[in-house]
Amino acid sequence: MDLNPPLPYLVIEGPIGAGKTTLARRLAADLGARLLLEKPEDNPFLPRFYRDPVNGALPAQLGFLLQRAGQVESFQQPDLFDQRWVADFLFDKDRLFAELTLTPADLALYESVYRRLAWDVPAPDAVIYLTGPVDTLLERIARRGRDYEAGIERRYLEDLSAVYARYFGSYSAAPVIEVDVSQMDLVAEPAHYAELLAALRQPRGYLRLPRADLL
């Protein structure tokens, strides 16, 4: 399968439970692209954060920041321009979580590290922003049964969803395709997936799926 334009760097984003990794794997396979996946299971501080958000937030955020900085070093390699990439995270996402979870003093420390690591991170060619009601996200989180996610609270997901909405409401670095995962099943419904692919063939501005005129 091909896209025109080719979109060499495609990112899938959205709150916890939206289905980012599943979609990234499918798109990478269909497009013949390389995968760049965040690895929450490799962050030793994440379970501590979910148990004790106040004391566990800073090490968890710095752990993710350093992990993602190491991953995007892939884009400094010459073959970036010879291959396609599909990522299930936007580098800036970690800052969104930091703003939500850190105290002002901890955020200042985090920001100083972030600025040193983020200055040459490339912008994606398009972003697929997965969103949906908190009930849908909670159901998906429970279904996949990760022990360290068992303590995620509704309020946290509500706040996180609001942060994402504000961020993408003013995002201008790349075209954004917003997909309501409570209305579109990109895995089980071929027609829904085909609609997403059609949008990716003409990425421009900000597009919401399903389109209002199709409802």
Question: Which of the residues are catalytic?
Answer: 88
The C-alpha atoms of residue 200 and residue 215 are separated, in whole angstroms, by 20
For 21-63, the DSSP string reads HHHHHHHHHHHTPEEE---GGG-TTHHHHHH-HHHHHHHHHHH
- Residue 158 amino acid letter: E
Residue with tokens 């350093």: 66
Q: Where are the alpha helices (DSSP H) in 86-153?
A: 93-101, 104-118, 134-144
Q: Count Cα atoms within 13 angstroms, Cβ side, for 162.
A: 8
